[in-house]
Structure 1
Amino acid sequence: MFDALHCFLTVVDTGNLSRAAKTLQLAVSSVSRRIDWLEEEVGARLFVRSSRLVLLTDAGERFLPRARHLVAELAEAKAAVTAVDPEPRGVLTVTAPRAFGRRHIAPAVGEFLHRYPLMELELQLNDDVVDLSAQRVDVAIRLAPLPDSDLLATYLAPRRRIACASPTYLARRGTPATPLDLLDHNCMSYVSRSALACWWSFDGVNRNKPLPVSGSLRSDDVDFMLDAAIGGAGVAHLPSWLASEALVAGQLVPLFGPASQGEERVTDGIHAVRLPGRSHPVKAQLFIAYLRDHVGTPPYWERALAAHEHVAA
């Protein structure tokens, strides 16, 4: 299978069977037989062939990204089992959003580095979405929905937002009974290139579209919004991974039901992603597996909220 996939990709990259055969140091007939075998295996024609060139069929176009993914994964697997050094070593570069990195990655790296003493970790905190194909990054933590791509994604946790406000604000302005009541409240807005279009969305409300809330405070920093909400500046719609400590401490009050099972939309989760074919796949996999265990299922911030609500009840 690996040889056939590699042959398929070489034909795509070179444009015809003759050049692919020269690149692979095979006879043209051997290349043709491997393509025939692969087409029979997948049950579809992948190429329209002529004497001078080959063109991908619609099925071939759909199969191409998956073939690249499979070849990269097989290469990584081979490298992993044939590595002569059993102890992972060297630099691993990780990027993450600033607030999430400070709260949930920084506390975890000490034990990771103790477990793998020959490794070094370079953590880049950046709220922009980093292009892993253009920069030397091994692992990226993504909080937004993942587009279709060649990235390998590992699910870490659900991504859930909680509408909340401080006791001071609620005493002054009253407590909204439903999400629609937020239209009469001072609601904070998150303004950023990575801002989610569904930031103020609630399941079953306004056809699941964002509510047209308004307010006197906007920021591109979620930590600032958290502190401002605690200070009574208005209603915030914060990620549970960010607001959980303040909710447990009573500095913020969840609106519309318990914080661990509110009415907010549960969107695509938090993922660790990597690009197949990078030079450090084993180290990246070790870090991702460690981080997944550290976060737990359900994630520890959700467990803290559930325990707090149980005690309060």
Structure 2
Amino acid sequence: MDRLEAMSIFVAAAETGSFSSASRKLRTPLPTVSRKVAELEAHLNARLLVRSTRKLTLTDAGVAYLAACKQILEQVGEAESAAAGEYSTPRGELVVTAPVVFGRLHVLPVINEFLAAFPEIAVRLVLADRNLHLLDEHIDVALRIGNLPDSSMVATQVGTVSRVICASPHFLAEHGEPVTPADLARLACVNFDSLPSGPVWNFAATAAPQQAVSIRPRLSVNTAEAAIDAAIAGVGVTNVLSYQVARAVDEGKLKLLLRDYEPEPVPVSVMHAGQGRLPLKTRSFIDFALPRLRAALAGQNDKPRVKATARSKQKHATSSR
């Protein structure tokens, strides 16, 4: 029995909660997953998992063994990286994750330049509008949008983005331009379903507390791109992030509204796990990406932006786009 392979399969099964999920994650046949875990339990002469029709549950022995497996597999990974030269020469596969639109607009161009400069590194870019767990998903670097609670994650802020209100000039000529957030109640709106507040848009002003306005969705969509396209087509006013709409505004297809009532900008951060010595491929990408992302975000907001900070201990963002 290959114990390292069995440990890896056991960890995947424990973390995903089922053999079928572990099978999909590892791209390993389901019977193999079940057999390897059974062999491991027989080798240890201990039950690690309690199997039910709904999910797997760790036994007390399984909880302790899971922690030990994670530590052993991490040490083996670091030893292999060192032997392969990842700590002396930038090489190997680098996994980067980012929100879908931000990744396509700002991260992918940086990666394209990076690949040209570092021919021995291959990059896998995972675009997802949810926060992937860096350790569980084997992610080297993550781009996060939002405030980051403290944790063992290491994050470096590269800029900020704002939530903005916009509409097409044609729509505004026909229906009038809102002067205050309350004016949105009389206008057709395009709502982005991923907003935590739903059909309630939040605003702030220098001399007033935060305002919440219930809008009248003429159209609800589940992606920012669809909301922007609908707004350009004159369906209504929409609420998106500044970087998502920057090109349409520059081209005159959309006009920014209610600038004095925009909420405070939110930070954009580059994150990594920060555990142990950082492989050179990861350090090289971070050093390469930081100045380019800062430059890309520098023109995103007209309002004063939060100064980018040095490295700080932070956690996954509670919101991503």
Aligned residue number for residue 201 of structure 1 = 202
Aligned residue number for residue 136 of structure 1 = 138
Please say if residues 92 and 280 of structure 1, whose CA atoms lie closer than 8 Å, have aligned partners that are also in contact.
Answer: no
Measure the CA separation in 1 of the matches of 2:296 and 2:273: 26
Alignment of structure 1 residues 150-169 onto 2, 5 Å: 150-169=152-171
- Asked whether 1:103 is paired with 2:105, we answer yes
Alignment of structure 1 residues 48-127 onto 2, 5 Å: 86-127=88-129
Aligned residue number for residue 185 of structure 1 = 187
Please say if residues 161 and 300 of structure 2, whose CA atoms lie closer than 8 Å, have aligned partners that are also in contact.
Answer: no
Paired letter, 1:116: F
1:128: Cα distance to partner?
A: 1.3
Measure the CA separation in 2 of the matches of 1:144 and 1:242: 15
Paired letter, 2:275: G
Please say if residues 158 and 269 of structure 1, whose CA atoms lie closer than 8 Å, have aligned partners that are also in contact.
Answer: yes
Aligned residue number for residue 61 of structure 1 = none
Measure the CA separation in 1 of the matches of 2:154 and 2:221: 32
1:146: Cα distance to partner?
A: 1.7
Measure the CA separation in 2 of the matches of 1:124 and 1:231: 30
Please say if residues 98 and 143 of structure 2, whose CA atoms lie closer than 8 Å, have aligned partners that are also in contact.
Answer: yes
Identical-residue share of aligned pairs (%):
31
Aligned residue number for residue 214 of structure 2 = 212
Please say if residues 154 and 288 of structure 1, whose CA atoms lie closer than 8 Å, have aligned partners that are also in contact.
Answer: no
Please identify the structure whose Cα radius of gyration is greater: 1
The DSSP-based 3-state class of the residue aligned with 1:135 is coil
Kindly provide the CA deviation profile for residues 268-307 of structure 1, in whole angstroms up to 9, marking residues without a partner as x: 301111112267543223222322211235725428x79x
Mark the CA change 1:124 to 1:151 in structure 2 (over 3 Å): closer, same or farther.
same
Paired letter, 2:201: W
Aligned residue number for residue 9 of structure 1 = none
Measure the CA separation in 1 of the matches of 2:86 and 2:289: 25
1:255: Cα distance to partner?
A: 1.1
Kindly provide the CA deviation profile for residues 175-198 of structure 1, in whole angstroms up to 9, marking residues without a partner as x: 111122112112222223xx3449
Please say if residues 144 and 196 of structure 1, whose CA atoms lie closer than 8 Å, have aligned partners that are also in contact.
Answer: no
Give the structure-1-normalised TM-score. Answer: 0.63
The DSSP-based 3-state class of the residue aligned with 2:203 is coil
1:158: Cα distance to partner?
A: 0.6
Aligned residue number for residue 38 of structure 1 = none
Measure the CA separation in 2 of the matches of 1:84 and 1:176: 56
Please say if residues 188 and 234 of structure 1, whose CA atoms lie closer than 8 Å, have aligned partners that are also in contact.
Answer: yes
Give the structure-2-normalised TM-score. Answer: 0.62
Decide which structure has greater strand share: 2
Paired letter, 2:215: V
Gaps of 5+ in 2: 1-77, 304-321
Residues matched between the structures, number = 221
Aligned residue number for residue 265 of structure 2 = 267
1:106: Cα distance to partner?
A: 1.4
- Asked whether 1:254 is paired with 2:252, we answer no
The DSSP-based 3-state class of the residue aligned with 2:245 is helix
Please say if residues 90 and 121 of structure 2, whose CA atoms lie closer than 8 Å, have aligned partners that are also in contact.
Answer: yes
Mark the CA change 1:172 to 1:287 in structure 2 (over 3 Å): closer, same or farther.
same
Measure the CA separation in 2 of the matches of 1:281 and 1:234: 48
Please say if residues 159 and 298 of structure 2, whose CA atoms lie closer than 8 Å, have aligned partners that are also in contact.
Answer: no
Measure the CA separation in 1 of the matches of 2:184 and 2:167: 11
Paired letter, 1:89: R
- Asked whether 1:285 is paired with 2:283, we answer yes
Measure the CA separation in 2 of the matches of 1:234 and 1:84: 52
Measure the CA separation in 2 of the matches of 1:143 and 1:245: 19
- Asked whether 1:302 is paired with 2:320, we answer no
Mark the CA change 1:112 to 1:298 in structure 2 (over 3 Å): closer, same or farther.
closer
Mark the CA change 1:85 to 1:283 in structure 2 (over 3 Å): closer, same or farther.
closer
Measure the CA separation in 2 of the matches of 1:160 and 1:103: 16
Measure the CA separation in 1 of the matches of 2:144 and 2:234: 30
1:144: Cα distance to partner?
A: 2.6
Kindly provide the CA deviation profile for residues 204-228 of structure 1, in whole angstroms up to 9, marking residues without a partner as x: 3983143222212112211111111
Measure the CA separation in 2 of the matches of 1:84 and 1:269: 31
The DSSP-based 3-state class of the residue aligned with 2:230 is helix
Aligned residue number for residue 149 of structure 1 = 151
Mark the CA change 1:296 to 1:128 in structure 2 (over 3 Å): closer, same or farther.
closer
Decide which structure has greater helix share: 1
CA RMSD of aligned residues (A): 2.9
Gaps of 5+ in 1: 1-75, 307-313
1:236: Cα distance to partner?
A: 1.1
Measure the CA separation in 2 of the matches of 1:170 and 1:85: 57
